[in-house]
């Protein structure tokens, strides 16, 4: 039975992971951390987190190991190689991958973990840096129902909308639905703000009108103000969004579903990345609409 004495491992303390670890520490959990760049964990260590030198070392000591890394290749490496998490974690422990990754990879991890008596869940999130800081993330979970209920109290420290979507891989499929919806919406947000500006309107006043109507969306109300302020710092990296769109397009192709809106969005984000925007926030797409 999981309780406040449960040791939690957290691998990947980047833009979002850092805030998530802070919430766990504030709730009194002992948290072991690993990040590729140890210097980026300094304030977490000062707050009480414990550094481990490898992902395997984290998993060997934790009852619950959470991962929040960059790309599916990173997930595969830290979970499935000989020196990885599954080969070193405790029997009966819980593995929660919160990276946005491949549904097929999630199934592979689940099956290998199950063969070793370990519970694996895929639990990607939505809400960006703001949601991570405010513990208001949406968490989409795939895996066994019993394992989900065991770790649900921990997940609810990190988010306020935590839903089991189905078996292994269902969390990632749900996140792809989220990214597909965002991709076309981001184009619409950028075009609306660019149109307002070109028409001689005050975009901030326009936002006051359209943000509360049928056009309202999280992207419009949270990212349009950043666009107008030319704040392109990453809450969610362009390079990671491109990765997500590729996963969704590959999965859609396997299912025989046309995705013209998603294809166009990826083409535009690829253009942004090629001009140096890889490490910007997704709202930096607005730059393409501001070119004279």
Active-site annotation holder among 18, 61, 175, 243: 175
Two structure tokens written together for 14:
């980047």
Per DSSP, the residues of 195-215 read: HHHHTT--HHHHHHHHTTSTT
Residue with tokens 């840096």: 129
Two structure tokens written together for 53:
């030198």
Say whether 175 is catalytic.
Answer: yes
b/e map 244-264, b = 16+ CB within 10 Å: bbebbbebbeeeeeebeebee
What interhelical angle do 238-255 and 170-198 show, nearest 10? Answer: 120
Task: Count Cα neighbours of 282 within 13 Å in the Cβ-side half-sphere.
Answer: 26
Alpha helices in 116-237 (DSSP H): 128-134, 145-158, 170-198, 203-210, 218-228
DSSP-based three-state secondary structure for 250: helix
- Give, as one character, the DSSP assignment of residue 34: E
Q: Which residues pair with 290 in a beta bridge?
A: none
Distance CA 96, CA 142 (A): 10
* Residue 95 host element (H or E): strand 94-97
Contact yes or no for 283/223 (Cβ under 8 A): yes
Distance CA 160, CA 11 (A): 22
Which residues are known to be catalytic? 175
């Amino acid at each position: 039975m999981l309780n406040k004495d449960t040791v939690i491992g957290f691998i990947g303390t980047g833009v979002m992971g850092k805030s998530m670890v802070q919430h766990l520490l504030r709730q009194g959990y002992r948290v072991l951390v690993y990040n590729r760049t140890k210097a980026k964990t300094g304030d977490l260590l000062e707050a009480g987190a414990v550094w481990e030198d490898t992902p395997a070392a984290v998993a060997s000591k934790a009852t619950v190991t959470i991962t929040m890394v960059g790309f599916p290749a990173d997930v595969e490496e830290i979970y499935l190689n000989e020196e990885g998490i599954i080969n070193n974690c405790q029997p009966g422990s819980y593995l929660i991958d919160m990276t946005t990754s491949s549904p097929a990879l999630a199934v592979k991890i689940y099956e290998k973990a199950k063969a070793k008596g370990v519970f694996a869940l895929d639990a990607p999130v939505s809400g960006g840096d703001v949601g991570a800081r405010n513990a208001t993330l949406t968490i989409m979970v795939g895996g066994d129902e019993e394992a989900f209920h065991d770790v649900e109290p921990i997940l609810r420290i990190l988010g306020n909308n935590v839903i089991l979507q189905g078996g292994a891989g269902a969390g990632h499929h749900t996140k792809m639905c989220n990214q597909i919806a965002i991709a076309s919406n981001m184009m619409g947000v950028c075009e609306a703000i660019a149109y307002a500006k070109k028409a001689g309107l005050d975009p901030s006043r326009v936002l006051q009108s359209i943000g509360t109507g049928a056009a309202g969306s999280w992207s419009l109300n949270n990212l349009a103000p950043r666009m107008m302020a030319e704040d392109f710092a990453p809450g969610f990296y362009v390079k990671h969004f491109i990765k997500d769109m590729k996963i969704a397009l590959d999965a859609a192709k396997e299912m025989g579903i046309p995705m013209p809106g998603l294809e166009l969005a990826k083409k535009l984000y690829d253009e942004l990345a090629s001009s140096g925007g890889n490490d910007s926030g997704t709202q930096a797409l607005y730059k393409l609409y501001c070119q004279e």
